[in-house]
């Protein structure tokens, strides 16, 4: 039996480079004219209030357009682009529409008849994905004949890498996304993510590595111009090859190990035939984890500032995206509030499994952690932020209550916060915004 092909191509020219990746990998070879195709880009988040670094965070519109053109060449007329971005405000149902317009997807609708769907507004179906796990998937992707999965090539602070398999999480109902961040040590986030491909129809994965991100998955990581494409009709093989390009043996990526085991395969390069460029010529190590001190109670940068009397233990796999959105803003706010005087033994806990330290003032961030610890006998003073996700004003009030006088405007204007990171890329021509526009 022949091995799946994985094509590795340098991105050099619009359309031509994507065409080369598709042809080398035979990724669309089995696609029949008239098929219903669902395209899943990676629009991990979107801000309606400020420009923000999209490079290495969001799939380039350039690659999405090229895929649509190649599908149309094959006689495919029923094309849907679907995504459900993480929402700063769960009630902001117009965020996806704003993203689709900003990324030019609506131009594809007018030009090629492509349909754009906001996953948050579409029907969901309960699916048993294996291991007794039931998740609610978007019905558009389930009812398609073929899926083109176009993730960004990036590392991830929790799952080591975020590639084809991880990108499917954006097709889940919000409650199922949260469910993936399970407190069960046997069925943790990596276990859950590995199950996501199971109910899907035949697919082709095209990993967009024009820009890659270190310490992703969002705008606060370090973004590079890498000019790479990875393509395969085998999603696991595509992810393993891309992990290698990011500097990680697949055996070091837990959800890839789980996925290989689920399919009765091995998590190594013997599973595939690599065509095009060689991995060893292009691999560039990308860190995935943000640096914390030796006790993992404070980011290294904050410890270097001399901050005392406060701990913010390192995130774990149980902290879902809707709480993690606040982490960077809270830490930034705390750093700006530091005046050199130690705070009064404050700790800020997140996720679902962290436990309080005796004698401290403990902020429980989020509904899940409050429910897990509300009756814990070791809490000296409990300050609960019960929302799911927490309300910015409640976070501000909790910190003020323990004497950490953060500036409320940072959290209250959290959707504008990503814009502060644009300065990193100013006057650097390799970070080209035009790749996220469709003319």
> 155, 216 in Cβ contact below 8 A?
yes
Is pLDDT of 114 > 90? yes
Distance CA(241)–CA(163), nearest Å, equals 10
**Which neighbouring-strand residues pair with 79?**
37
Q: Please state which of the ranges 231-235, 277-281, 320-324 shows the lowest mean pLDDT.
A: 320-324
Q: Which residues contact 428 (CB under 8 A, 6 or more apart)?
A: none
Nearest in space to 238 (alpha carbons), one of 210, 187, 204: 204
User: Does the CA dihedral 349-352-354-358 come out positive or negative?
Assistant: positive
- Residues 322-351 have a mean pLDDT of 94
- Residues 329-339 have a mean pLDDT of 95
Q: Which residues contact 103 (CB under 8 A, 6 or more apart)?
A: 43, 58, 61, 64, 436, 437, 438
Is pLDDT of 355 > 70? yes
Topology annotation, domain 5-288: Rossmann fold (3.40.50)
Write down the pLDDT at residue 389: 86
Place of tokens 């754009």: 116
Q: Please state which of the ranges 100-104, 117-121, 325-329, 335-339 shows the lowest mean pLDDT.
A: 325-329
For 155: left if phi > 0, alpha if psi spans -120 to 50, otherwise beta; the answer is beta
**Which neighbouring-strand residues pair with 154?**
162, 213
Whole-model pTM?
Answer: 0.96
User: Does the CA dihedral 234-236-239-245 come out positive or negative?
Assistant: negative
Do the domains at 5-288 and 300-406 have one common CATH topology? yes
User: Which one has a higher pLDDT value, 329 or 56?
Assistant: 56
What are the domain boundaries of the chain? 5-288, 300-406
User: Does the CA dihedral 283-284-289-293 come out positive or negative?
Assistant: positive
For 63, the token pair is 């690659």
Is pLDDT of 91 > 80? no
For 369, the token pair is 């952690």
Distance CA(123)–CA(136), nearest Å, equals 9
Q: Alpha carbon of 45 to those of 38, 52, 100, 412: distances in Å?
A: 20, 10, 12, 18
Nearest in space to 213 (alpha carbons), one of 257, 151, 280: 151
Distance CA(327)–CA(356), nearest Å, equals 18
- Residues 193-215 have a mean pLDDT of 98
Topology annotation, domain 300-406: Rossmann fold (3.40.50)
Confidence of residue 1 (pLDDT cuts 50, 70, 90): low
């Amino acid at each position: 039996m022949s091995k799946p092909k994985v094509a590795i191509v340098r991105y050099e020219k619009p359309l031509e480079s994507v065409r080369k990746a598709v042809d080398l990998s035979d990724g669309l070879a089995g696609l029949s004219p008239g098929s219903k195709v669902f395209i899943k880009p990676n629009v991990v988040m979107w801000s309606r209030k400020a420009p923000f670094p999209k490079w290495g965070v969001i799939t380039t519109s350039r690659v999405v357009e090229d895929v649509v053109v190649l599908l149309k060449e094959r006689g495919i007329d029923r094309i849907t682009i679907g995504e459900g971005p993480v929402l700063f405000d769960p009630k902001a149902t117009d965020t996806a529409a704003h993203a689709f317009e900003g990324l030019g997807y609506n131009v594809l609708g007018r030009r090629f008849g492509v349909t754009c769907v906001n996953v948050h507004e579409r029907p969901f179906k309960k699916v048993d994905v294996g291991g007794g796990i039931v998740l609610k998937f978007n019905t558009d992707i389930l009812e398609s004949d073929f899926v083109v999965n176009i993730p960004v090539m990036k590392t991830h602070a929790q799952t080591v890498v975020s590639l084809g398999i991880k990108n499917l999480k954006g097709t889940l109902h919000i409650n199922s996304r949260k469910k993936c961040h399970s407190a069960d040590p046997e069925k943790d986030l990596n276990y859950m993510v590995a199950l996501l491909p199971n109910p899907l129809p035949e697919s082709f994965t095209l990993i967009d590595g024009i820009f890659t991100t270190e310490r992703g998955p969002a705008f606060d990581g370090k973004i590079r111009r890498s000019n790479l494409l990875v393509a395969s009709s085998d999603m696991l093989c595509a992810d393993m090859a891309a992990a290698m390009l990011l500097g990680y043996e697949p055996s070091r990526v837990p959800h890839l190990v789980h996925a290989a085991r689920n399919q009765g395969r091995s998590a190594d390069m013997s599973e595939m035939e690599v065509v095009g460029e060689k991995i060893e010529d292009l691999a560039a190590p990308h860190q995935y984890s943000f640096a914390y001190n030796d006790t993992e109670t404070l980011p290294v940068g904050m410890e270097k500032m001399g901050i005392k009397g406060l701990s913010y233990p390192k995130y774990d796999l149980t902290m879902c995206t809707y709480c993690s959105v606040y982490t960077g803003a809270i830490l930034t706010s705390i750093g700006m509030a530091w005046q050199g005087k130690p705070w009064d033994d404050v700790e800020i806990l997140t996720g679902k499994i962290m436990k309080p330290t005796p004698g401290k003032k403990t902020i429980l961030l989020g509904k899940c952690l409050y429910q897990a610890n509300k009756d814990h006998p070791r809490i000296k003073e409990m300050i609960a932020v019960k929302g799911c996700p927490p309300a910015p004003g409640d976070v501000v009030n909790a910190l003020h209550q323990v004497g950490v006088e953060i500036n409320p405007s940072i959290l209250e204007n959290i959707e504008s916060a990503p814009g502060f990171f644009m300065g990193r890329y100013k006057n650097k021509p390799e970070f080209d915004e035009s790749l996220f526009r469709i003319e």
